[in-house]
Structure 1
């Protein structure tokens, strides 16, 4: 019956409308085609090249085309996955990303809550100051922080030298900080690197949380306060459930960004000499470009890193779909 009705409508509308209807159905896909082509050229093609390189043994001569690419299959993956140093690098990456995601989310959420409670002018001023950190290029920010932690004339070294000798000796076991290498020990290096990454990342979280807070109905929070709920209870029972999708996206984005940290680490470490502070991004770079270059091995490490990030993203998408179904 439905088919007959549609057919009669098409006949009544005339042959022109019936011919245009399939074209209109294809219109959204035609409009998306330019964006898909750009994504394919800028993202999918380089990714495919990296995957292809990971199955070959490549050096300078092979990459220049002077010699053919020797096929090694999964040998590069077997070598890196069986290397104890790779497991150390993976551990460094996971622990660093986990710590940075937690600190970034906590600090960004607190700043977002603060901005939401400030007046319009003060919130605009504080928000603008906070966004300066986000707007600063990662390279510029890393250079500034390296100057701050300079072992002779850095501001941080000067501040530690101003501490009373007894307090400095009791807390840190030393009184003279001039010449102290902040980037020589893995513990202090990762502490400084965490400070730099969190400083650069939390403004985005703060502004995103602030935008989410503007969409929370004030009546719900006021009702919770009337019922005797404190600030923490109001946030955890009312605000957080409503902003769970926002926090989920921010956690996934922060995880991806923190797993891929490269610029700040490269600048603070002064290159790829200190292998004890390697993470997956800089390990891939060092393997590919340090003499003798091993582009196949570096590509395999990059593919492993991409696979980890795809798994993290897939888990989040699955959680979102489950929430929508329930």
Structure 2
């Protein structure tokens, strides 16, 4: 007896019994092929991205090979193509290499501290009750929501030499304790934001304070998806908290940590607003990073927008290389 449920129209047996056929025609509403609809829906978003991101990036790339100064901006002279002259100028400058060193060292320190602090807070929030966890999440997200310029202003006030809370708090310590810990007892008028090292110390505190809430909430979301039975089994086996994190939490959250690391690298490599505010403008060349150095070259008198664009292009290439290498390593580890 023939099974009529597996026969296609015309008497031929269907190769996929019981499965509805995929429509291959055109939709009645739009007249477009069905397969093209997802791509058509992406066009508005791609146009916005192209207008806001791709076009400025292309213009910066073009400007990096041109001489764009005050005469070109005012229209007295046409823009001149100078080839690699802008790159030669910045590579011959000691400020560029100092700014590159500051950028890389700061990014390594800030990314590491942000991930460690954010992960620790995320694990802590996961172990709290629902109400307390929600309350703390809302509280720490206020720090993440503060605009970068406001972050710089807050921490600049905290470390102000004359009216800063930090100097006031350090002066409250007993003289013997302050001398034992820091080698000095009087902190009145301490100029934290005059030296490049102390500026980057304050900048690291600023960035970690503003960035760890995003890491913590992301880790918390990932922890909610891990079955509790795994932790119960580890507890029964007598595993310590660190061993549980290393053997269960970290492997299962590796994709989350991969994304967070890439985002943190991108954000911390191109920090500008907070450093600009803490420095009070591009005055201290020893404290430049590549973003501030690019701004100083492009907009300080005399403006050299071609050199500033070249520095920005170098920073972009460095970010692309670092991100590509990191992602490639992650992919190779997954394949193994």
* Shared fold, TM over 0.5: yes
Task: Judge which range, 215-224 or 60-69, deviates more.
Answer: 60-69
List aligned pairs for 1:53-92, cutoff 5 A.
53-92=63-102
- Following TM superposition, by how much is the alpha carbon of 1:221 offset from its aligned partner in structure 2, in angstroms? 1.7
Alpha-carbon distance in structure 2 between the residues aligned to 1:117 and 1:173: 39
For 2:33, which of 11, 20, 23 is the aligned residue? 23
Q: Does 1:322 align with 2:326?
A: no
Matches within 5 A, 1:72-151: 72-151=82-161
Tell me if 1:277 matches 2:283.
no
1:325 positional shift: 4.2
Give the alignment's Cα RMSD to 1 decimal. Answer: 1.8
d(CA) in 1 for partners of 2:86, 2:274: 28
TM-score normalised by structure 2 residue count: 0.88
CA displacement, residues 182-238 of structure 1 (integer Å, 9 cap, x when unaligned): 101122111111111100000000000000000111111221222221111000001
Q: Please identify, of 105-114 and 69-78, the stretch whose mean Cα deviation from structure 2 is larger.
A: 69-78
* 1:18 CA drift (Å): 5.8
* Distance in structure 2 (CA, Å) of the matches to 1:83 and 1:244: 40
Matching of residues 162-181 of structure 1 within 5 Å: 162-181=172-191
Match of residue 305, structure 2, among 295, 301, 309: 295
Residue 226 of structure 2 is aligned to residue 216 of structure 1: yes
Q: Determine whether 1:262 maps to 2:272.
A: yes
2:261 to 222, 241, 251: 251
Counterpart of 2:17 in structure 1 is none
Distance in 2 between the 1:72 and 1:64 partners? Answer: 19
Q: 2:247 — aligned with what? A: 237
Matches of 1:191 and 1:251, distance apart in 2:
21
Equivalent in the alignment of 1:39: 49
SS of 1:20 mapped into structure 2: coil
Tell me the alpha carbon deviations over residues 67-117 of structure 1, each in whole angstroms, 9 at most, x when there is no partner.
Answer: 111111011112212323211111111000000001000000000000000
Distance 1:157 1:123, change over 3 A: same
Distance 1:297 1:18 in 2: 54
Superposition misfits of 4+ residues, deviation over 4 angstroms: 323-326
Stretches of structure 1 that go unaligned for 5 or more consecutive residues are: 1-8, 10-16
Say whether residues 1:160 and 2:166 are aligned partners.
Answer: no
Greater helix share, structure number:
1
Aligned residue pairs, count = 312
1:129 shift after superposition: 1.0
Pairwise CA distance, 1:313 = 2.2
- Give the corresponding residue for 1:225: 235
CA distance in 1, matches of 2:161, 2:91: 37
Name the structure 2 match of 1:5. none
Name the residue aligned to 2:7.
Answer: none
Normalised TM-score (structure 1): 0.91
